[in-house]
Amino acid sequence: MTLTVPKVNPVENVQRSSSQLTQFTEFRHYTPRDLDKIPQVKRLNREQRFAMKVVSQVLPFKVNEYVLHELINWDNIPEDPIFQLTFPQKEMLLDKDFNTIADLLRSQAPKDQLKKKIDEIRYSLNPHPAGQMQMNVPKVNGVPLPGVQHKYKETALFFPTSGQTCHAYCTFCFRWAQFVGINELKFASKEASQLMEYLRQHKEVSDILFTGGDPMVMKTRVFNRYLEPFLGKDLNHVQTIRIGTKAVSYWPQRFVTDQDADDFLWIIEKLIKKGKHVAIMGHYNHWVEFETPIAREAIRRIRETGAQIRTQSPLIRHINDDADVWETMWRNQVRYGLIPYYMFVERDTGARRYFEVPLVQAWEIFRNAWKNVSGLGRTVRGPSMSATPGKVEVQGVTEIKGEKVIVLRFIQGRNPDWVERPFFAKYDTKASWLDQLEPAFGEKEFFFESELKEIQSRAMAKAG
């Protein structure tokens, strides 16, 4: 990493005009078709440009002018973390897949032939990891709610239909299947009213988590349809409204200069005045994302409503696989009033082979960053895998009676009783996901496995 963080960077409490905050207040974006039109991309050589075109046939690509001009440092290509975060790279595909698509493009193969290959490759990339399709779709009065995922008792996830896209796409994203038009895999919600009915019937839900894509791509007018019902008494039990978003990074204008920015902040404030806790779950993968004036202004304005901003990110090779990056990220987040929340392990999907960091190394990076920040930065947990049985954290490496082991624990479990019980896997420097780990001490399976199988077969039977 050649970039350095400004040492003194106080949050200024002065109103600045939007032209001082950013050059870009009108949202304009580029998709695979426009790759060649991006001025900075024209500076790359032909081979690089062609490689991008090939990869963007399979994996999602979308970038906007703000990300292009204000977040990516074009003097640091290809290493720049935000370039890696948003632009397709050759190595994201297997050589054989890359060559297949490259040949089809070069020979100008018919569209349907190309599409067939693309779909094949996409399906081979595990578009829906962690059994999400089969196991987590709840029902209300017998009708499935494909836009709701209710895995852990207290928290329901909701994917609003109109929030199934983002202001730019992350190359590592496990939601990539939604963006590239594999329709039957799309979690789409029919109606806000169905969600509310579900919540009214489930008094155990204390948290609703709006997710996407990015729910902040919705106009406030649309989002309000989902938010306003929470002002009502019948949803008193839902205490916390979380909004997972990367707009704080990719389009902070959403909270500052967009026409309906104030309206959004206003509804948030209203919910808070009604006694709700509102948490913006900000996806920041690197500290450069919150160092621009507009990003800082977005943070200031969100916090002014009384909402909290908690932060999360996966650990991703080529983007943030460096303890210094995390240390700076957490330190500066605390300085700006953000609360570090999760470090995730990159999921078993998409271009994982390009991004994955082995679990032992992930823990080392976590530890080396964590040990250097104050207690206020140590609110973060991780590295955590969102796997089929639950969220599993790598707690560390140790030796027990001569056997080197990886210590794990559930932060969230399909059965809440699994949570916070340490368990042990054989030491393995290569493993990068839970299913690659083996139980330590010669045991046949992990303590939760037989119960998980039962839960799974019950869920499958129910889903019919």
Ligand X SMILES: *Cc1c(COP(=O)(O)O)cnc(C)c1O
Question: How does DSSP classify residue 215?
Answer: G
- Tracing tokens 């995730």 back to the chain, one arrives at 344
Contact with ligand SF4 (CB under 6 A) among 24, 66, 159, 169: 169
Question: How does DSSP classify residue 456?
Answer: H
Closest approach of Cβ 186 to ligand SF4, in Å?
13
Site residues for ligand SF4, 281-320, by CB under 6 A, read 283
151 touches ligand X (CB under 6 A): yes
174 or 330: whose CB is closer to ligand X?
A: 174
**Cβ-based burial of 105 (10 A; exposed 0-12, middle 13-18, buried ≥19):** middle
159 touches ligand X (CB under 6 A): no
What is 1-24 written as a DSSP string? ------S--PPP-S---HHHH-S-
386 touches ligand X (CB under 6 A): yes
Amino acid making up residue 204: E
Q: Which of 306, 310, 372 is nearest to 340 (CA)?
A: 310
Q: Which partner, ligand X, ligand SF4, none, binds residue 286 by CB below 5 to 8 Å per kind?
A: none
Give the strand pairing for 155-158 and 207-210.
parallel
252 touches ligand SF4 (CB under 6 A): no
Q: How many residues bind ligand X (CB under 6 A)?
A: 10
* Dihedrals phi, psi of 341, to nearest 5 degrees: -125, -60
Question: How does DSSP classify residue 346?
Answer: P
Q: Which partner, ligand X, ligand SF4, none, binds residue 122 by CB below 5 to 8 Å per kind?
A: none
152 touches ligand X (CB under 6 A): yes
Q: State how far the Cα of 425 lies from the Cα of 394, in Å rounded to an integer.
A: 10
Find the part of the chain contacting ligand SF4 (CB under 6 A) among 34-42, 209-217, 263-271, 332-340: 209-217
308 touches ligand X (CB under 6 A): no
170 touches ligand SF4 (CB under 6 A): yes
In sequence order, what are the beta bridge partners of 296? none
Amino acid making up residue 372: N
Find the part of the chain contacting ligand X (CB under 6 A) among 14-22, 73-81, 148-156, 437-445: 148-156
Contact with ligand X (CB under 6 A) among 48, 73, 155, 239: 155
- Cα-based torsion angle of the residue sequence 200, 203, 207, 211 in order, rounded to the nearest 10 degrees: -40
8 A C-beta contact, residue 266 and residue 327: no
149 touches ligand X (CB under 6 A): yes
Find the part of the chain contacting ligand X (CB under 6 A) among 82-90, 151-159, 354-362, 435-443: 151-159
Q: State how far the Cα of 217 lies from the Cα of 308, in Å rounded to an integer.
A: 20
152 or 448: whose CB is closer to ligand X?
A: 152
Contact with ligand X (CB under 6 A) among 53, 117, 246, 391: 391
158 touches ligand X (CB under 6 A): no
215 or 377: whose CB is closer to ligand SF4?
A: 215
The helix/strand count (H/E) of the chain reads as 17, 15
Tokens of 336: 């700006």
Kindly list the residues in this chain that would bind ligand X in the complex (CB under 6 A): 149, 151-152, 155, 157, 209, 386, 391, 411-412
Kindly list the residues in this chain that would bind ligand SF4 in the complex (CB under 6 A): 166, 169-170, 173, 175, 212-214, 246, 283
